[in-house]
Structures are given as structure tokens and as C-alpha cells.
Amino acid sequence: MEYKFSDRVSNLKPSAIREIFKYAADPEVVSLSAGNPSPEAFPAKEIAEISAKVLSENPISVLQYSVSEGYTPLRQHLLEYMKNEHNTGNDNDDILITTGAQQIMDLCTKALVNEGEKIIVEAPSFIGSLNTFRSYNAKLVGVTVEPDGMNTAELEQALIANPDTKFIYTIPNFQNPSGVTMSLEKRKKVYELAKKYNVLIIEDNPYGDLRYSGEYVPNIKSFDTDGIVIYAGSFSKVISPGIRVAYTICPKPIFQKLVVCKQGNDVHTNIWSQYICDEFITKYDFNAHLEMLRKTYTKKAQFCMDLLDKYCKPAITYNKIDGGLFIWCDLPENVDMTEFCKKAVLNKVCVVPGNAFLTDDSSVCHSFRINFSTPTDEQLEKGIKILGKLANEL
């Protein structure tokens, strides 16, 4: 049989990152391409404790069907926590628990964007979200990321040129892949523009708790008096990604539609893992855990930047980061970045070519992304040494 796929997915390719993982599976290869939390970052002992208790005392509560909205105590605790700690969410909002934040992008695109309509994204941006948007045949419009976030003049031009834009997708904190944090001024400007042009904002904030330096910047959602911001939070980087728990705080009419879409998507998120997250953030010292994570990653991030300074100058430059898990590295304009990445793999180091994060991955790009949370210190040193040698030879 000749299989005929839908128009929306016929040009969809596997994620470049997930393809690169195939090389990274070779144990001899140093992978700087993943975005996995460090093995020491997991509250494994606490998860084991919580799990053992509930599975012995009340197993059916975490094994039976549950509601699409999510585990009620977790929803209530998260609403309180986000309100108190981040002034995020108000009386016009509600909260939906999802199977990872990727599902938020899926449900929002399904609920809001007709085929061919536009989504404005940062260029570069997180490839996972871009591919989700593409899977509904949405058209992507890229806006350049500057050291303090989106170029807002370019954003306004994009909004004028694309009146069928449904939302602006942004990762304001320690953006993946650029590492950039959007300034407060720009956050306000993005909000103002979204309001002016009557479009929504999806504020994706998986790394917000992982700040290592610089000052806290409020979430865009914290000034959402008009009901135009869909906030996406996740436990993947602060508890565990394998258990797939995230949440969106968004205006109630959108929440209601997302719930209906979630019923048709996976009915509800794994209830055991929702229970784990709820118990961990309420019965344990969640803030102390976040502090431990920041301490671990501050050290790793600094170590990584020191290695880049030591081994990669002058051919590789990079943006200093204040948080998150990624560093964006630039090669000289005369170097073919794709060739460089291929050469790196042949030399047993895996990085992600920067063009993978663009709306059109055939665009010319001189950057690549590295991650420092997954590799050991030894692997980091070995890998970056090789990258520096290769870049400076070219």
C-alpha cells in the first residue's frame, strides 16, 4: 500500500536533535547535544519515599482513571505557589496539568491556530515547540533574539505584516537555545504589542527556577490584566522529565477549550506522577531543592564557560548566561558551521547545529548549541577541548 499522509505532517521531519542523539548513543561520543538534567539533580530518594507510601497505603488513588484537568490538590497548590512566589495567575485564570510542556504547545496550537495561520517565534527558538507548531501546518515567523530578548521593532513589523498571527511564542528566561534572558522593558513591550495587535502570548518558562546570576525578572504573565498570556511551567527540569508533568496557567475560556482537547489527546496525565509532584512541593522543602539545583548548575555553567575561555578562543565566542542549561556558541563567519558540527561528531563530540532552531533550517547560521548539565566534568573538558582545537584549526 502507498501511504498518504495528511498535508499538515507530510513535510514534518524527525527532530534534528533526536536524530543527533543517535550519534550520541555511541558511548565513546561526548554528547553536548542533550538537554537532560544532571543525574545528581533528581530528588530520587524523596520520589521513592512518596511512591512507596502511596502505593502501599492507597494504590488505587494513583492507578485508577482520573480527571482531565489534573490532580486537584496539585492544581490548587501550584496556583497558590505561582501566585505567591511569582505573582503569576489571577482570578480570571485556571490551571491545567499536562503531559510535559510539549503538550501545552500541542493543545494550544490545536485550539487556536488554523492551518496556514501564523505563529511568531524567537529566532532561534526551541526546536520541539517549532515542530509542534509545524505539525498543525501553522506558518512560523521568526523575530531575532538580541542579548536582551526579542527585537521588538522587528516584532511589531512581523505583527503588522502578519495580521493572521494567533500568538507570540517566547521563552523569556535563559532561552533555549540562545541562553538569552529578556529584559523587563522588553517583556512589557512584548505584552503591549500583543495587546495592541490582539494576539496571545505563550510564555514558556521551563528554566525560570534555574537562575545562577543576575536579577530576577518578573514573568510576562505577572502583568497580564487583559487575559492574553498563556503561561507554561514544567517539573521536567526541577523534579524529573521522565515522569512528564507540566502545567499551564491561562485565561479560563482558553483553559476550558484546552481541557476538551486534552480529553481527546491522552484523557489525563499520569496520576502517579502528578501525586509525586504534589507531595514533593508540599511535604518537602521544595525551595531548598531548587537552591541545591542552582548551586549544582552554577558550578557546572561556570566550569563550562571557563573551559570555553580556556580552549576555544578566539575562534569560538559565546554569550555569557545567567541561568538555564544551554550555551550558544558562535563561529567566525568564514567557517561552515554544518561542516564543523559534522567534523565534531567524527571527532566524537556531539553539538546541535544552530540552524535546527530557525524557522527555516536551510538558513545560513554560524552558531551551535552546547549543554553542560548532562555531561560529567571530565566529558565537558574533553569535549570542549576538541571543539576548540577543531574551530581554531579551520
> Which value, to the nearest 10 degrees, does the dihedral of the CA atoms of residues 144, 371, 105, 101 take?
-140
Footprint on residues 204-243 left by a second copy (CB under 8 A): 226-228, 236, 240-243
Q: Least distance from C-beta 240 to a second copy, angstroms?
A: 4
Query: Is 339:351 a contact under the CB 8 Å cutoff?
Result: no
- Which amino acid, one-letter code, is at 382? K
Which CB sits closer to a second copy, 37 or 324? 37
Q: Least distance from C-beta 334 to a second copy, angstroms?
A: 34
3-state DSSP helix/strand/coil percent for the chain, to nearest 5? Answer: 45, 15, 35
Q: Least distance from C-beta 318 to a second copy, angstroms?
A: 24
Q: Least distance from C-beta 264 to a second copy, angstroms?
A: 4
SS3 321: coil
Candidate list 100, 124, 206, 323; residue touching a second copy; CB under 8 A: 100
Q: Least distance from C-beta 147 to a second copy, angstroms?
A: 29
**Neighbouring-strand partners of residue 150:** 145
Between CA 321 and CA 214 the distance in angstroms is 9
Q: Which cell goes with 119?
A: 505563529
Q: Least distance from C-beta 255 to a second copy, angstroms?
A: 11
Which CB sits closer to a second copy, 113 or 316? 113
Between CA 336 and CA 356 the distance in angstroms is 15
The answer to the question of residue 91 lying near a second copy (CB under 8 A) is no
Q: Least distance from C-beta 229 to a second copy, angstroms?
A: 10
Q: Which residues have C-beta within 8 Å of that of residue 16, sequence separation ≥ 6?
A: 127, 352, 353, 356, 361
Neighbours of 277 (CB within 10 A): 26
Is the dihedral angle over the CA atoms 253, 159, 183, 128 positive or is it negative? positive
Q: Least distance from C-beta 281 to a second copy, angstroms?
A: 16
What's the chain's length in residues? 394
Footprint on residues 102-161 left by a second copy (CB under 8 A): 102-103, 105-106, 110-115, 128, 131-132, 134-135
Footprint on residues 40-69 left by a second copy (CB under 8 A): 42, 44, 47-48, 51-52, 55-56, 59-60, 62-68
SS3 124: coil
Per-residue x/- mask for a second copy, residues 326 to 345, rule CB under 8 A? --------------------
Taking CA atoms, 68 is separated from 96, 103, 106, in Å, by 8, 13, 15
Footprint on residues 14-43 left by a second copy (CB under 8 A): 14-15, 18, 21, 34-37, 39, 42
* Span near a second copy by CB under 8 A; candidates 73-81, 101-109, 329-337, 347-355: 101-109
* Span near a second copy by CB under 8 A; candidates 7-15, 78-86, 153-161, 351-359: 7-15
- Give phi and psi for 27, each to the nearest 5: -65, -20
Which CB sits closer to a second copy, 100 or 179? 100
Is the dihedral angle over the CA atoms 356, 358, 359, 361 positive or is it negative? negative
Strands 118-123, 139-146: parallel, antiparallel or unpaired by DSSP? parallel
Q: Least distance from C-beta 326 to a second copy, angstroms?
A: 15
Between CA 241 and CA 206 the distance in angstroms is 11
Footprint on residues 235-294 left by a second copy (CB under 8 A): 236, 240-244, 251, 253-254, 257, 259-261, 263-273
E strands, the chain, are 30-31, 93-98, 118-123, 139-146, 149-150, 165-170, 200-204, 229-234, 246-251, 317-318, 326-330, 349-350, 352-353, 367-371
Which CB sits closer to a second copy, 144 or 225? 225
Which CB sits closer to a second copy, 40 or 306? 40
The residue count for binding a second copy (CB under 8 A) is 82
Which CB sits closer to a second copy, 7 or 393? 7
- Half-sphere CA count of 222, side-chain side, radius 13 A: 15
Q: Least distance from C-beta 331 to a second copy, angstroms?
A: 28
Between CA 352 and CA 338 the distance in angstroms is 10
